[in-house]
């Protein structure tokens, strides 16, 4: 029995020595929050169907070799008959440790995995703001950050190809 324990310990030690890429969530926090109801209290009497527009953005800042701050910004604008009912803006941030990734995988982790971690917190905060502002509860639908990242990657590749084509024409 003692032999088996020693073997398991030896295996565990070799696994930690050969550790590959590492991802850690160091800190999650709200960087900025804003909620406005410009037409209160008159907006609470609106009878028309509200229209929602959501803007999503992301900022990544390298803090050191293995730490990144990722900020997920969500702005939700609700209007009725072209009059603003409310504006909710949240910047949910996190510090993430990412080590041992190649450049392409690192970019993908920052563009997909980190926002997936941040989104539920931003979603909950926006929901609470809207309800505290006197409006019916509202829950943002899930977002496929992998699809958004893939689309952004395709757009960057298309722009790079267009730039190469225009430079080739200019040099001819």
- What mean pLDDT do residues 158-168 have? 76
- pLDDT digit string, tens, across residues 13-57: 444 445 789 999 999 999 999 999 999 999 988 888 899 999 999
* Cis peptide upstream of residue 41 (ω within 30 degrees of 0): yes
Q: Give yes or no for a contact between 45 and 55, defined as CB atoms under 8 angstroms apart.
A: no
- pLDDT digit string, tens, across residues 46-105: 888 899 999 999 999 999 999 999 999 999 999 998 899 999 999 999 999 999 999 999
Whether 159 shows a pLDDT value over 80: the answer reads: yes
Go through the domains of the chain in sequence order and give each one's CATH number.
20-160 (3.10.420.10)
CA nearest neighbour of 57 among 40, 35, 86, 32 = 32
């Amino acid at each position: 029995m003692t032999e088996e324990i020693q073997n398991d310990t030896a295996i565990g030690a070799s696994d930690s020595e050969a550790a590959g890429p590492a991802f850690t969530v160091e800190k999650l926090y709200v960087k900025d929050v804003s909620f406005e109801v410009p037409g209160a209290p008159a907006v609470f009497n609106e009878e028309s169907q509200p229209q929602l527009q959501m803007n999503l953005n992301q900022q990544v800042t390298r803090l050191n070799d293995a730490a990144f701050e990722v900020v997920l910004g969500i702005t939700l604008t609700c209007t009725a008959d072209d009059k603003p009912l409310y504006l909710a803006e949240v910047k949910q941030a996190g510090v993430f440790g990412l080590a041992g990734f190649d450049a392409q995988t690192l970019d993908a982790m920052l563009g997909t995995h980190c926002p997936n971690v941040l989104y539920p917190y931003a979603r909950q905060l926006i929901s609470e703001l809207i309800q505290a502002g006197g409006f019916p509860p509202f829950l943002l639908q899930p977002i496929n950050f992998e699809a958004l990242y893939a689309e952004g990657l395709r757009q960057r590749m298309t722009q790079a190809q267009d730039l190469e084509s225009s430079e080739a024409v200019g040099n001819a």
